[in-house]
Amino acid sequence: MKDFIAFTNFDWLLERFRPLTPSGRLAKEHLSPLSKNELETEFALIADFIALAKNSPVRADKIEFHLNRIPHLDALPLAQADSVEIFAVKKFLSNARDIFALLPPALSKKLAIKWSCSELLKELSLGGEGETFHVSSSYSPALKKNREAMSSLAAEIVSCRKKRLEQLKKTYGLDFAKRDFIVLEENAAQKLFGNPDFFIEPYDSSHLTLKPVPGAEYLALSSKRDALLRTEKEEEAKIITALAKKIAAHSGDINVYVEKLGRVDLLLAKARLALKFGMKRPQICPSGGAIAVKKGRLLPLEQRLQAEKLDYVPLDCELGKRVCIITGSNMGGKTVALQTVGFLQLCMQLGFYVPAEKYRAPLFDALHFVGDTASLGKVEGLSSFGLELYSFMQAWKDKERHALVLLDEFARTTNSDEAGALLSAVVQAFCARKNIYSLISTHFSGLEAPEAGFYRMKGFDNAAFEKRGAPAGDLRGQLRQINKFMRYELEENCGRRANCDALNVARMLGFDENIAETARKFMEDK
């Protein structure tokens, strides 16, 4: 998994995916590459959930509501349970039952969902339906009898206190009916000092508090109440223990429900993602087959351009060779072409639909993107070129696994002679190694590799550029013009024609016209 997700845009995918999962607990470790059979099953299930979301939106929303309500459960069976844990299990089962009931029968069958905890949930619901739980008297005749005795005793205690307070009022003229104590001036309270019917305590420097002594009858009733409370707790503990044992007996079913609900959660989220971004089911071809893309979109870039109100050009290509070399000018879209293929491959192998009208590709054991050394961080003693070589070697070590390797302007940070020689050697090595499928973007147009496929970005539309109006003044406007005249389309480069767009890009970014013209003459002389 670590090697497979060596691609920066995985984080983008996860950030967009996580809010769509009702559980909200998605992390990288919950996603992993799937086998061909697993992927075919996954894609078919996503199609079913897309149909559910489109045809029965209210039902899909209800499923999400209940998924949001599901609590986290610790490992079952429960060794020692309390009422909080019993409540969590009941809440889980209540929502699980409702979710399973909302799923179409055909979909439940495909997911092998079978509800078999009706009796357990009924037992946990004796105290009330829904997301509540308390130890009801319905669980035990002994508990019911005890609570009835407590209720009767409570009435006796109230009557006893009332009788006691009426006696004090009659004897001393003091009314405690609606209060726990009375505040008296110290002089007024002196005559009650030592009286066994009252507790007397200081209140402030000149006042005292007077509290009634409950009396022997009241104390006897309170002691009886305490004994009943102890008995109630003992009976409740017995019931909790019995319920925990019943839950433990169904722990296998509950753990299966946890797994099934996780599947429902992820599949519904994948369906939502597919609908939101217009993603389609990818096609898996045999190992060694050509990668084909029709209107493939790199979603992070597409959204960024949409925010800037710039046009986005989807990728169309069919990469028929195992090693494909893409040339083109800076800002011409080479890197985006590589990242688009990597992003689509990543989506496919993680079991997502892909943002493309069509994506056909074989499966790989590893996916490596070599070129973004910034993502590797800083390593003491290593230059950018050293970091790039290090990243390359991580991919090269995959001698047995079937790997997709994306090289973006490899060796860009060293001198051009050595860089060209090094890249030529890499291309030859990749052509010789049958387990590698590679896309390589580069500025070098003189690479010799008969077994490789050559492609180029169409680049700058010079005819349209010459007819342009006044150049935009600020950087944002200049970038809009470059986006307007650059053709981000990939085509076969049979004649090995080089791009010469850098001077036009430089001019549009305000580069000195005299220097640009001198550079053009140098190129013509060469």
Q: Are the beta carbons of 104 and 52 closer than 8 angstroms?
A: yes
pLDDT tens string 43-78: 999 999 999 999 999 999 999 999 988 887 766 666
Q: What is the DSSP string of 482-503?
A: HHHHEEEEEEE-TT-PPP--HH
Tell me which of 127 and 284 has the higher pLDDT.
284
- Comparing 520 with 297, the larger pLDDT belongs to 297
Mean pLDDT along residues 122-134? 89
Indicate whether 172 pLDDT > 70: yes
- The predicted-structure confidence for 83-100, as pLDDT tens digits, reads as follows 888 999 999 999 999 999
Q: How far apart are CA 411 and CA 423, in angstroms?
A: 7
User: pLDDT tens for residues 226-246?
Assistant: 999 999 999 999 999 999 999
Nearest Cα residue to 299 out of 339, 335, 357: 339
Q: What are phi and psi of 140, to 5 degrees?
A: -155, 130
DSSP 118: H
CA distances in angstroms from 285 to 290, 324, 388, listed in the order given: 8, 18, 31
Query: For residue 327, what are the β-bridge partners?
Result: 442, 456
Query: Per residue in 404-428, is it b (16+ CB within 10 Å) or e — as a string?
Result: bbbbbbbbbeeeeeebbebbeebbb
CB-based burial of residue 211 (10 Å sphere; 0-12 exposed, 13-18 middle, 19+ buried)?
A: middle
Task: Determine the pLDDT at residue 6.
Answer: 40
75 contacts: CB under 8 Å, gap ≥ 6 = none
Higher pLDDT, 508 or 116: 116
State residue 8's pLDDT score: 39
| Two tokens, residue 163 | 């009788």
Give per-residue pLDDT as tens, 241-289. Answer: 999 999 999 999 999 998 899 889 889 988 998 999 999 999 999 988 9
Residue scoring higher pLDDT (137 or 518): 137
Which one, of 243, 244, 250, lies nearest residue 140 by Cα?
Answer: 243
Return the pLDDT at 209.
Answer: 93
Alpha-carbon gap, residue 186 to 333, rounded angstroms: 94
Instruction: Give the Cα separation of 174 and 354 in Å (integer).
Output: 83
pLDDT in tens, 449-506: 778 888 887 765 565 556 555 555 565 665 566 655 556 678 787 654 555 556 666 6
3-state secondary structure of 504: helix
Average pLDDT for 195-208? 91
The pLDDT of residue 377 is above 90 = no
Burial label, 508 (beta-carbon count in 10 A; 0-12, 13-18, 19+): buried
Backbone angles phi, psi at 412, to 5 degrees: -65, -20
- For residue 428, the number of C-alpha atoms closer than 13 Å in the C-beta half-sphere is 8
Domains belonging to the chain, first-starting first, are 10-136+240-276 (1.10.1420.10), 141-228 (no CATH), 282-525 (3.40.50.300)
Quote the strand ranges of 90-233, DSSP E. 182-185, 198-202, 207-212
Q: How far apart are CA 66 and CA 292, in angstroms?
A: 40
